[in-house]
Structure 1
Amino acid sequence: MTVSRYVVLACALLGLAGVVAGGPARGEDLVDLVHPLIGTGGGPIGYGRTMPVVTPPFGMTGWVAQTRQSGHPGLSYYHKDRSISGFVGTHQAALWMGDYGEVVIMPESGAARSGVAERALPFSHRDEVARPDYYRVVMGPEGRAIRAEMTAAAHAALFRFTFPAGAARRVMVEASRPGYAGGVRVDEAKGEITGYDPRRSDADLGPLKLPQFRGYFVVQFSRPARMSVYPAMPPPDGATDRERGAFATFDPGTDAVEVRVGTSFISVEQARENLRREIPGWDFEAVRRTLHDAWQEKLGRIAVEGLDDAQRHIFYTALYHALLYPRSLSEYGRYYGAFDDRVHEGASYTDFATWDIFRAEFSLLTLVAPERVGGMIQALLQDYRQGGWMPKWPNPSYTNIMIGTHADSLVAEAIGKGFAGFDRSLAWEAVRKDATVPPDGDATNDWRDRKPGTPYEARGGLGHALRLGYIPADRTAEAASSTLDDAYDDWCVAQVAKAVGRRTEYEHFLRRSMDYRTLFNPATGFMQARKLDGSWAGPDAGWTEGGKWVYTFDVLHDVGGLIGLMGGRAALAARLDRYFDGNYDWHSNEPSHHVPYLYDFVGQPWKTQARVREIMRTEYADTVSGLDGDDDCGQMSAWYVFSALGFYPVNPASGVYMIGSPLVSRARLRMADGAVFTVVADRNGADDPYIRSAMLGGAPLPVPMLTYQDMMAARTLHLVMAARPGRWGARWIAPGLR
């Protein structure tokens, strides 16, 4: 059967549907299945560099025990640490991004201590409970220990501190680290401490100066307190407020002290209003129930069966991680714009790690949080309107971290899947600028990673690429990876052009997306960087967090074309075998995530099935080291969620998903309009990774792929699994997903 007949058959199957009820089993508490400590520690698998934050899905402020002061790189919580110096209202998204506008709360007994090291109290993980809706720990020496509990809302938190009987009771509020011009004010009559923190990591990583940026807070107490401030030592240059922290001291007693904190990027008044809306009283359990129910609803959008206990913990923890980002900036109808330093009407989001999340995380959100997608895209477009470009990784403003303009992919995927809630004309304007306008100083700037003092990078080296068809490695850093990533982004720009009726531009950018071919060296069979004069650079030149092995497969939008460059399906299959057998796969970093699914395109889907099962088994575990590599705003976790369900978006903007090997025996995904997409995997088990046969909507499925439209039509993907490789899907030839 020809390629075209298979494609026609696959498309014809899209008309068949089946509907099955979805949701978690009655009475099942999915929040109990989340283990937030997964990925917080090192071990046999790796160090996932996650934090066990307490916050709602997409919450503006997350709360976490501070076992060390964060930096970039560096997180607030490391599992191997043995002391806690506070509980931080954090906005940090990942290891390589610093915090911004944070506030720290710390209970103390005895003498007042403000320094990070001197106030730290020892703790044991035996005395620690970490959940999405609640955190508890016992800190301090035996007989003088303090029990700390916390729960939270989107912009606020509620703490309950139980002190040793008869001991001094004190709560420290740290507004700002030494050297930063933050400050606090105390009001004993109101029982309130207010303040702000102007620190933001992107001040070092991006081009914008934001003189109005502040992380504001208001802290209130359940009992009367004597209040005092402590000074900055030494005061920062130009500081107008010397006090960077405060203490609230309570009379000795046996009752717990409760502390509630409201946060804002708009003002102290808005922080107070956020607190009033979210935690108006002192009912700790009521606040926790509200947060619990928010997580239960979101986690319940995927119900799974057939996983063992460890796999269920990994699955729902991964879903928890994926639902944390991007972080909402909305504050009841307003938001702080970190691209023009002003307060705006409307809603916004930040902490898009676009180089990471365009691969699978955002695609997962289109399935499990569709009500958020339009607002997320509109947020990127607002950033474009206010700052001149859509951002790479806002934190909360521009950062020149990573390469490409993968916001193009997010926009194209949202448009292709029919999402509304954003301005499509503005979307076309934004992605077209990404693809056609070189950044300031492009001709002379080499755009090295985290290079200080540079303008916004956008597509660094684009000026060269517009002339040459590639970015030269002797002029621009990370040139080879950027050329390949930009080719994919051009494909995405083409899809946006098509959607808004720009046929000529669609054809132009589609042709330009084939420029990835300029880097293929037929003499070696690998992608390779080129110099300005067209000669080959060294084989290790020009890569971003990878090398020639992984980036040779970085043609997400034209796998059929890659097959042609390689010399056919058998040649690409052999190269994939060498890649995996030679231990070149680097699953701990995102450019490798689609590679095991490429066997689907070359008529050997059983190898995709085997490789995906092996990665799930070896790279994820229900342990503190059970996530290898930086989770990077949910991408590592999203890979697991998709793969456990049995499919993955190799080209996310296409709306096509390649089929792998599900861990589940049954899964039900509740879609945007309430319809339910179902995966059934009969005879599935740990020793049954291979697909013997497949049905979609009651009809045979001859190709290892399904579409977003299949899911929205509430079809059922029915697989029969086996212990031995089968020939299902072997005759399909990849047409290239154009």
Structure 2
Amino acid sequence: MRVVVGAACLAWATGLGATAVAPASSPVDWVNTYIGTGGGGVEYGGSMPVVTTPFGMTNWTAQTRQNRISVTSYAYEDTQIQGFIGTHQAAIWMGDYGYVTLMPEIGGINYAPEARQQPFTHADETSTPYYYAVTMGKGADHRIKTEMTATDHASHLRFSFPLKSKASVLIEGTRPHVNGEVSIDPARHEISGYNPDRMDAHLGPLALSNFKGYFVVRFRQPFSARTVYQGVLMVPGKDTVAGDNVGAFVSFDTSASGVVEAQVGTSFISVEQARANLDAEMPDWNFEARRDALKAAWNAKLGIASLHGASDDERHVFYSALYHALLYPKLFSEHGHYYSAFDDKVHEGESYTAYSIWDTFRAENSLITLFAPERVDGMVRALLQDYQEGGWMPKWPNPSYTNIMIGTHADALVAEAINKGFKGFDWNLAWAAVHKDATVPPEGDTTRRWFDREPHTPYEARAGLTWSAKIGYIPDDKISESASSTQEESFDDYAVAEVARALGRKDDADFFRKRSLAYKNLWNPKRGFMQARNLDGSWAAPDRGWTEGDQWVYLFAALHDIPGVMNLMGGPAQAAAKLDEHFNGGHNRHDNEPSHHYGYLYDYFGQAWKTQERVRQLARDAYSNTPNGVLGNEDCGQMSAWYVFTAMGFYPVNPVSGQYMIGSPIYGGVTLNLPNGKVFSIKSANASAANIYIQSATLNGQPLDEPVITWAQIQAGGELAFVMGPKPSRWASGWRPTAM
């Protein structure tokens, strides 16, 4: 639901806590890092107020609770801080891996999170994408200020203790039941070690005996005392400890200054590489320069979009959404090398992870092609490297195979990049990867049910492909989530056909394009819905076979052939009536991705004014400038990408096609200063909360009577202009798309 911003919210509405700050003057100043951090339950946004670079490998945040699968490190309603964590947790439903935590303390040494935690309030907190600060603790003699900024693989922390206090810093290497190692080097002022934890390792087939998250913590000040610990016991007389629940404490002389600085390098290659990352990215102790550099990096990315005629709340929501979208996928390479979580070896090259592809293939990756095209080739190459090293492109690498969700939607990412002309990866290798997805069943395909998140299974790929290749659908009495998988894999077949077409493989393109219509085999004309079927052709129960949805959510799941679905229903009028019933009956679930394109479907049915109504309503109700300002889990930028596109006035219903369906632009204008040097402007005369309907439109001065623009048109630069009004018009009502 939408939470209205009230007086109590004003202290943090800028994303900077209650700390006195100058008015927002650059794009990053409009980011409210608290959006999506509130609610505390499993259906909240699951976001964290992280300090990191765009697509940074390691994110840094205050740890208000022990994270795990279904719990992230920070929740807005918490009142205690347990530490400051370098985390790789990408989403609430995924676990962390290779993390490291630091915690400043005064007086006694406390190991356990509950014993060492300190109280704080948001009034004493400052949070931005480039700088985080908080003052915590009770009483003047126990107040500690912590500040953080970051680079791709490292963080610079500054702790300010009271003068002459007994100051220490805890480095938690591992937690209970996790075996690792920590070592102190007093000559270098360093603590190094590794954490081999992969919280969701049980979800994938690979053991990865070499996997470790390495760290080097380098202090500016020498240690006045030091100790390593295991469990709740110190290990006297030693500087190295290995085993379960290990860490270190180092103390400092604060008689002259209470400031203690630490820099933390992280790596998945080695301790030496963590140190090399630190040397390369933090060659000095200039905290302010590093903070300013990170602010500039965020402004460069966020500043691609300039808003005109937006309210303050709208600016906060827009730039916060763009910030969230530009966190994923996450960099996984380290200055020309990367550890592969697919063959357990180190390789040369560039790599990325945290592709929540079932979520993000819909809009997040399309957004990256607009705002960070320089990353696209490397991101696709990373998927192809995973294919070479592990045998398949992954569904949801974290950082290895996890078998979460259905389909092989990496096919769509590859096809979209090819259709948009990205050439920095091997197209023939891409064909080999998508062709395998489409033709090779997973190990044990006919003997497994392939339940969601089923532990310790082979890589799932297209579960049930053995059956669907023969009978044209995945049978519900053999494979779980069969109806959703049949439809989503029809879209994947379309993507494979597009790759074949681009390579001139006409026969293959024709074959997979025809097979992409298999979704029609689930159409039950008597009921007017898609429905799961059994191996013998009989209909399964209507509530069977769905993935995070139902027969309503998956009625229009064939993103590549919405006109074909419309024709099954009897034509545009009947399809529009069914869509009315969907929305009016409360069936739309914008908090989950399969519904994200539904508001735009009226464009296909000659009722574009209803698209304009629906998307404005969704943007208003599902997003706000509050801690609960994302309806449902953020899901690695997809929820936010939907908002960014919708606010600009268009959305990629079929992302592979390079087409965007037009909705209702929210602001008076958006200027995109594209990375290719061109400028694309969206101007919306009279746009307001009341004027949501398009009266007319032009593209580069010429009448635009279709509710469609393309990626190529945007990349060429120009002006998309709308005249908005308070009443529906017949604009674009004569356009009809062509079925496959």
The answer to whether TM tops 0.5 is: yes
Equivalent pair of 1:202/1:398 in contact (CA under 8 Å): no
Counterpart in 1 of 2:627? 624
Matches within 5 A, 1:48-63: 48-63=45-60
Measured against aligned partners, the alpha-carbon deviations of 1:554-575 in whole angstroms (never above 9, x if no partner) come to 1100011011101100000001
Counterpart in 1 of 2:172? 174
Equivalent pair of 1:69/1:76 in contact (CA under 8 Å): yes
- CA deviation after TM superposition for structure 1 residue 685, in Å: 1.0
- CA deviation after TM superposition for structure 1 residue 28, in Å: 3.7
Measured against aligned partners, the alpha-carbon deviations of 1:142-184 in whole angstroms (never above 9, x if no partner) come to 2211111111111000111111232210000011111111110
Counterpart in 1 of 2:6? none
Contiguous gaps of at least 5 residues in structure 2? 1-23, 235-240
Equivalent pair of 2:449/2:478 in contact (CA under 8 Å): yes
2:230 aligned with 1:231, yes or no? yes
The SS at the match of 2:159 is strand
Equivalent pair of 1:45/1:625 in contact (CA under 8 Å): no
Equivalent pair of 1:87/1:105 in contact (CA under 8 Å): yes
Counterpart in 2 of 1:335? 338
Counterpart in 2 of 1:608? 611
2:102 aligned with 1:105, yes or no? yes
User: How far apart, in 2, do the equivalents of 1:242 and 1:378 lie?
Assistant: 37
Matches within 5 A, 1:252-271: 252-253=254-255, 254-271=257-274
Matches within 5 A, 1:241-390: 241=243, 244-253=246-255, 254-390=257-393
Counterpart in 1 of 2:669? 666
Return closer, same or farther for 1:483/1:45 CA change in 2, 3 Å cut-off: closer
Counterpart in 2 of 1:3? none
One-letter amino acid matched to 2:136:
M
Equivalent pair of 1:139/1:147 in contact (CA under 8 Å): yes
Counterpart in 2 of 1:47? 44
Counterpart in 1 of 2:238? none
- CA deviation after TM superposition for structure 1 residue 664, in Å: 1.8
Contiguous gaps of at least 5 residues in structure 1? 1-26
Counterpart in 1 of 2:18? none
Equivalent pair of 2:164/2:258 in contact (CA under 8 Å): no
- CA deviation after TM superposition for structure 1 residue 255, in Å: 2.6
User: How far apart, in 2, do the equivalents of 1:46 and 1:587 lie?
Assistant: 12
One-letter amino acid matched to 2:546:
W
Identify which of 193, 196, 199 aligns with 2:197: 199
45-54 or 292-301, larger mean C-alpha shift: 45-54
- CA deviation after TM superposition for structure 1 residue 243, in Å: 6.9
2:634 aligned with 1:637, yes or no? no
- CA deviation after TM superposition for structure 1 residue 670, in Å: 2.6
Report % sequence identity.
55
Identify which of 681, 703, 707 aligns with 2:706: 703
User: How far apart, in 2, do the equivalents of 1:165 and 1:252 lie?
Assistant: 5
The SS at the match of 2:103 is strand
User: How far apart, in 2, do the equivalents of 1:623 and 1:275 lie?
Assistant: 35
Identify which of 508, 511, 514 aligns with 1:511: 514
Identify which of 133, 136, 143 aligns with 1:136: 133
TM-score by length of 2: 0.94
Measured against aligned partners, the alpha-carbon deviations of 1:106-161 in whole angstroms (never above 9, x if no partner) come to 10111111111111111111111110001111111122111111111110001111
The SS at the match of 1:126 is helix
Counterpart in 2 of 1:400? 403
User: How far apart, in 2, do the equivalents of 1:438 and 1:129 lie?
Assistant: 51
Equivalent pair of 2:659/2:710 in contact (CA under 8 Å): yes
Equivalent pair of 1:46/1:626 in contact (CA under 8 Å): no
Matches within 5 A, 1:549-564: 549-564=552-567
One-letter amino acid matched to 1:386:
E
Equivalent pair of 1:45/1:620 in contact (CA under 8 Å): no
107-116 or 317-326, larger mean C-alpha shift: 107-116
User: How far apart, in 2, do the equivalents of 1:161 and 1:213 lie?
Assistant: 31
Equivalent pair of 2:431/2:500 in contact (CA under 8 Å): yes
303-312 or 639-648, larger mean C-alpha shift: 303-312
Counterpart in 2 of 1:20? none
Counterpart in 2 of 1:5? none
Return closer, same or farther for 1:342/1:656 CA change in 2, 3 Å cut-off: same
One-letter amino acid matched to 2:149:
T
Equivalent pair of 1:314/1:621 in contact (CA under 8 Å): yes
User: How far apart, in 1, do the equivalents of 2:568 and 2:542 lie?
Assistant: 18
User: How far apart, in 2, do the equivalents of 1:275 and 1:677 lie?
Assistant: 39
User: How far apart, in 2, do the equivalents of 1:531 and 1:164 lie?
Assistant: 70
- Which consecutive aligned stretches of 4+ in structure 1 deviate over 3 angstroms post-superposition? 43-46, 232-235, 239-243
Equivalent pair of 2:174/2:244 in contact (CA under 8 Å): no
Equivalent pair of 2:176/2:245 in contact (CA under 8 Å): no
Matches within 5 A, 1:436-455: 436-455=439-458
User: How far apart, in 2, do the equivalents of 1:416 and 1:243 lie?
Assistant: 49
- CA deviation after TM superposition for structure 1 residue 242, in Å: 5.8
User: How far apart, in 2, do the equivalents of 1:53 and 1:28 lie?
Assistant: 21
User: How far apart, in 1, do the equivalents of 2:362 and 2:245 lie?
Assistant: 45
One-letter amino acid matched to 1:188:
P
Equivalent pair of 1:179/1:234 in contact (CA under 8 Å): no
User: How far apart, in 1, do the equivalents of 2:177 and 2:394 lie?
Assistant: 28
Measured against aligned partners, the alpha-carbon deviations of 1:294-323 in whole angstroms (never above 9, x if no partner) come to 100000111111110000000000000000
Counterpart in 2 of 1:14? none
- CA deviation after TM superposition for structure 1 residue 345, in Å: 0.5
User: How far apart, in 2, do the equivalents of 1:245 and 1:103 lie?
Assistant: 10
Aligned length: 709
The SS at the match of 1:310 is helix
User: How far apart, in 1, do the equivalents of 2:155 and 2:219 lie?
Assistant: 12
Matches within 5 A, 1:646-725: 646-725=649-728
One-letter amino acid matched to 2:728:
P
- CA deviation after TM superposition for structure 1 residue 44, in Å: 13
Measured against aligned partners, the alpha-carbon deviations of 1:642-671 in whole angstroms (never above 9, x if no partner) come to 000000000000000000001121111233
Counterpart in 1 of 2:62? 65
Return closer, same or farther for 1:564/1:685 CA change in 2, 3 Å cut-off: same
Equivalent pair of 1:201/1:395 in contact (CA under 8 Å): no
Identify which of 116, 119, 124 aligns with 1:119: 116
Measured against aligned partners, the alpha-carbon deviations of 1:29-74 in whole angstroms (never above 9, x if no partner) come to 1111000100100299972111111000000000011111111111
- CA deviation after TM superposition for structure 1 residue 532, in Å: 1.2
Counterpart in 1 of 2:478? 475
User: How far apart, in 1, do the equivalents of 2:664 and 2:191 lie?
Assistant: 54
Counterpart in 2 of 1:9? none
One-letter amino acid matched to 1:378:
R
Equivalent pair of 2:177/2:244 in contact (CA under 8 Å): no
User: How far apart, in 2, do the equivalents of 1:30 and 1:269 lie?
Assistant: 37
The SS at the match of 1:209 is coil
- CA deviation after TM superposition for structure 1 residue 476, in Å: 0.7
User: How far apart, in 1, do the equivalents of 2:40 and 2:698 lie?
Assistant: 41
452-461 or 410-419, larger mean C-alpha shift: 452-461
User: How far apart, in 2, do the equivalents of 1:223 and 1:43 lie?
Assistant: 38
Equivalent pair of 2:39/2:75 in contact (CA under 8 Å): no
User: How far apart, in 1, do the equivalents of 2:722 and 2:180 lie?
Assistant: 58
The SS at the match of 2:380 is helix
One-letter amino acid matched to 2:525:
P
TM-score by length of 1: 0.94
Measured against aligned partners, the alpha-carbon deviations of 1:669-724 in whole angstroms (never above 9, x if no partner) come to 23342111111111111100000001011111111001111111112111100000
User: How far apart, in 1, do the equivalents of 2:233 and 2:69 lie?
Assistant: 23
Equivalent pair of 1:43/1:625 in contact (CA under 8 Å): no
Return closer, same or farther for 1:362/1:597 CA change in 2, 3 Å cut-off: same
User: How far apart, in 1, do the equivalents of 2:172 and 2:656 lie?
Assistant: 44
